[in-house]
Amino acid sequence: MIRIPKSIYQRMIEHAQKDAPLECCGILGGKEKTVERAFELQNMEGSSIRYLMSPQEQLRVFEEMEKESIEMLAIYHSHPHTIPFPSETDVRMSFYPEVSSIIISLKEEKSPAVKAFKIDEDAIYPEEIELI
Ligand SMILES: [Zn+2]
């Protein structure tokens, strides 16, 4: 389970809508499964079906989180045209099994869907999101 403040939840959806039709990506940091900060990153792939976080930006976010004594709780990205479920690429490119993968789907334009998962080498576990 991961707890996300409503304002951050809303901001992730807006980030996805802003970057559509390309996938967006970002990092959520916090403590004890409770998100406190959201960091928008650039999708270096500039693609509508995959994303790649910039290593420099990622490093900057890691430094900032360390300064604030928070840890990376989730990596989020959007699916502009498909359902909120990890793609084969998402599973292959998932390097943090302990961190939640959040997917924002804009498939239903009027009602974006946000889902969380834990992705281990070859298994996908749905995770509950609690809005706070
Ligand atoms: Zn994906």
Q: What is the pLDDT of residues 82-107, one digit of tens each?
A: 999 999 999 998 889 999 999 999 99
pTM for the structure as a whole:
0.96
Beta bridge partners of 104: 78, 114
Task: Calculate how far, in angstroms, residue 67's C-alpha sits from the geometric centre of ligand 1.
Answer: 29
d(CA 61, CA 57): 6
Q: Which among 42, 43, 27, 35 has a CA at the least distance from the CA of 7?
A: 35
Q: How confident is the model at residue 31 (pLDDT cuts 50, 70, 90)?
A: very high
pLDDT above 70 coverage of the chain, percent: 100
**What pLDDT is attached to residue 122?**
80
Mean pLDDT, to the nearest integer, of 67-80?
98
Task: Calculate how far, in angstroms, residue 7's C-alpha sits from the geometric centre of ligand 1.
Answer: 23
Most distant CA atoms of the chain, gap in Å: 38
Mean pLDDT, to the nearest integer, of 17-26?
97
Task: Calculate how far, in angstroms, residue 130's C-alpha sits from the geometric centre of ligand 1.
Answer: 21
**What pLDDT is attached to residue 85?**
97
Task: Calculate how far, in angstroms, residue 59's C-alpha sits from the geometric centre of ligand 1.
Answer: 22
